[in-house]
Amino acid sequence: MAETDLDERVFETPLQGEGEQFDEENRLKPEFIRQVRESLRDDNEDSTYDLVEPLHPADIADLFELFDRDDRSVLAAAITDLMSGEVIAELNDYVREDMLESLPPEAVASIVEQLETDDAVQLIEDLDLTDQRAILAEVEPEDRAAIENALAYPEETAGRLMQRELVAVPESMNVGDLIDYLRREDQLITDFWEIFVVDHRFHPVGSCQLSWILRTPRDIALTDVMKRDQTLIPVDMDQEEVALRFQKYALISAAVVDESGRLVGQITVDDMVHIISEEAGEDALLMSGAGEGDINEPLRDAYSARVRWLIANLGTAVVASAIIAFFGAAIEQLVALAVLMPIVASIGGNAGTQTMAVTIRAIAMNQLTRSNTKRILLRELKVAIMNGVTVAILIGIATALLFTPELGAVIAAAMVVNIVISGLAGVLVPVAFERMGQDPAVASSVFVTMITDSMGFFAFLGLAVAAGLAGM
């Protein structure tokens, strides 16, 4: 699948975000969306087609996402010819799933056959099993086998991501042989960035960038041009790991090997950029407890992902409340305590979140390991003391002026204590989760918040009682 005829390719000339349909940030303009919507409403299929036809598949996909759910199928019907596999592959996961569910299996199968294995797999992996089977039954046996094979690997592993189509040649070839082979074999893929050199067991022994081949005379052996050391990706490697290798070693493509070391596929960087961006961007969503955090996620999924987290936080808020209740008598005597206590908890919470965000990012980027944890902890402790003292002076003076000097001293001391504890928790909690094999971005927030809230109330109210400002 996915062989493009060379002649055809030349005349496929999609606009890439440069036309009048786009604003300065490469987004489709609201006026353009309105034009398309109006021509759909007027039932004018020709004019809709003419509007959409100049767009790149990625922009047609954007257009669908900007449309309301009900309008999407109307649009799809009006521009069926433009609904290439590439458009479908570029769609947001949720939008795609929704659209595919409304199509008959034969229609989906014909889209699947246009795609390379990795895109075909991505397209059907989220559908339920019955739908998958119905679609696969309509796909050509050879493609079906490739897809079923990929689906046998766990989700989010190299086996799912890789494409099976690649160029692999024996060690015995020289540059001239290779060029002749590439010109002769019309079943080869059109787009590739490196060729893989394999031994008789189909184990990769090296890889060659195409630029090296083009710069080398025909009679030089491939084994003299290729790079022997390469990053081999095991089929079962997690996609996050694969993304880190691509970043670290600046890879354009990499060979995927099975347990026995046989070359079974390749992963190319254009597929990895989505995953790199997703993995880097998801931490903000995970830390806030927003789950997938996709604006196209169905309402019930967004609700269940977020409410779970809110309920967990309700638990931590109740713990903090219990601490306040314990000091109830003191608050009754001095209501200023109730007025000021949220300040200590809130600023502590902020300081904790700052440190936690830094720590989680460093863990994700493999920058924080056992070798430097102590140094980073010490560093964060210093920052926390500096922050704590600064904030304490400000709030201490303000409180001394508005209330009493004693209360100013108490809130200043509580603030230093809470910010330092927050700083330590912001490092130690994510590091602990990471060592236990948990994703620190998911699990840390609830604990750090609980610590900073509880300690904020406890330090402030406890110090006030200890200083004799109120009794218990």
Q: Which is nearer to a copy of itself, 198 or 362 (CB)?
A: 362
Q: Which of 75, 391, 417, 459 binds a copy of itself (CB under 8 A)?
A: 391
Q: Which of 52, 109, 255, 360 binds a copy of itself (CB under 8 A)?
A: 360
Spatial CA neighbour of 36 closest among 14, 17, 13, 60: 60
Q: Which of 376, 413, 417, 459 binds a copy of itself (CB under 8 A)?
A: 376
Q: Which is nearer to a copy of itself, 6 or 129 (CB)?
A: 6
Q: Which is nearer to a copy of itself, 104 or 369 (CB)?
A: 369
Any contact of residue 314 with a copy of itself (CB under 8 A)?
yes
Q: How far is the CB of 43 from a copy of itself (least distance, A)?
A: 21
* Footprint on residues 114-153 left by a copy of itself (CB under 8 A): none
Residue 139 and residue 113 in contact, taking contact as beta carbons nearer than 8 Å = yes
* Footprint on residues 37-56 left by a copy of itself (CB under 8 A): 56
- Which x/- pattern over 332-351 shows residues binding a copy of itself (rule: CB under 8 A)? x--x--xxxxxx-xxx--xx
d(CA 205, CA 207): 7
* Footprint on residues 192-251 left by a copy of itself (CB under 8 A): 192-193, 209-217, 224-232, 241, 244-251
Q: How far is the CB of 288 from a copy of itself (least distance, A)?
A: 4
Q: Which of 125, 288, 424, 432 binds a copy of itself (CB under 8 A)?
A: 288
d(CA 112, CA 136): 9
Q: Which is nearer to a copy of itself, 134 or 290 (CB)?
A: 290
Residue 205 burial (C-beta neighbours within 10 Å; 0-12, 13-18, 19+): middle
Q: How far is the CB of 103 from a copy of itself (least distance, A)?
A: 23
d(CA 212, CA 220): 11
Q: How far is the CB of 20 from a copy of itself (least distance, A)?
A: 15
Q: Which stretch binds a copy of itself (CB under 8 A): 99-107, 124-132, 137-145, 293-301?
A: 293-301
Helix (H) or strand (E) holding 40: helix 30-41
Q: How far is the CB of 260 from a copy of itself (least distance, A)?
A: 16
Helix (H) or strand (E) holding 393: helix 373-402
Q: What does the DSSP assignment read for 130-179?
A: HHHHHHHHHS-HHHHHHHHHHHTSPTTBHHHH-BS---EEETT-BHHHHH
Any contact of residue 295 with a copy of itself (CB under 8 A)?
yes
Q: Determine how many CB atoms are found less than 10 A away from the CB of residue 343.
A: 18
Q: Which is nearer to a copy of itself, 109 or 368 (CB)?
A: 368
* Footprint on residues 248-277 left by a copy of itself (CB under 8 A): 248-252, 269-274, 276-277
Q: Is the dihedral angle over the CA atoms 463, 469, 471, 472 positive or is it negative?
A: negative
Helices (H), 249-298: 269-288
Between the alpha carbon of residue 96 and those of residues 62, 108, 297, 330, the distances in Å are 12, 11, 11, 59
Q: How far is the CB of 436 from a copy of itself (least distance, A)?
A: 14
d(CA 105, CA 93): 18
